[in-house]
Amino acid sequence: VSIIEPMRRMAVRSLDKIAFLPFGLMVDRWRWGVFNGETSPAEYNDAWSANMLKYQGLVPPGPRPANAFDPGAKYHIPGNTPYTRYFLAHIYQFQFQRAACKEAGWTGPLHRCSIYGNKEVGERFERMMEMGQSRPWPEAMQAFTGESGNDASAVTDYFAPLNAWLTVQNRGKDCGWEA
């Protein structure tokens, strides 16, 4: 099997997971700027576009009218719904995956680990879930992962093979954007 196909599959997964992270951060960074007064109503759209460039490397597809309110297109903005929960969920899922694979005794690449049918992992997960809302989330996290805080290094661990492959493929090329 060529290395291209597994890397293609992982690249597709990364476009869903990793590409979301800067957007997930950007939404609440914009909201916090509005709430703390750093961003006035007259600056709402410009601040949104500036954050898009800063965090995602994106610009609007064309000039925006003076009365544009692009942030309003994201339900969470007019609905006043925090977005950090989605950002953190994307990190936690990899942290949980890494902890589950460690519990299962997996020593290979994280992206290749399956815990399907592993009773010990299932029991540990069940013990965590039984806490429900009766305990603070860091205690629940500790019960399953052995860590009391979030750790985004699991995302890096999961996508390490793709990163190594892309580093070789992109050697000598100008990649990225200027903010």
The predicted-structure confidence for 80-138, as pLDDT tens digits, reads as follows 999 999 999 999 999 999 999 999 999 999 999 999 999 999 999 999 999 998 999 88
Q: Are 115 and 121 in contact (CB under 8 A)?
A: yes
The rounded distance, in Å, linking the Cα atoms of 47 and 39 is 7
Q: Which pLDDT band holds residue 177 (cuts at 50, 70, 90)?
A: low
Q: Are 144 and 154 in contact (CB under 8 A)?
A: no
Q: What is the pLDDT of residues 29-56, one digit of tens each?
A: 999 999 999 999 999 999 999 999 999 9
Flag whether pLDDT at 77 surpasses 70: yes
Stated pTM of the model: 0.83
Q: Are 27 and 83 in contact (CB under 8 A)?
A: yes
Phi and psi angles of residue 173, each rounded to the nearest 5 degrees, phi first: -100, 150
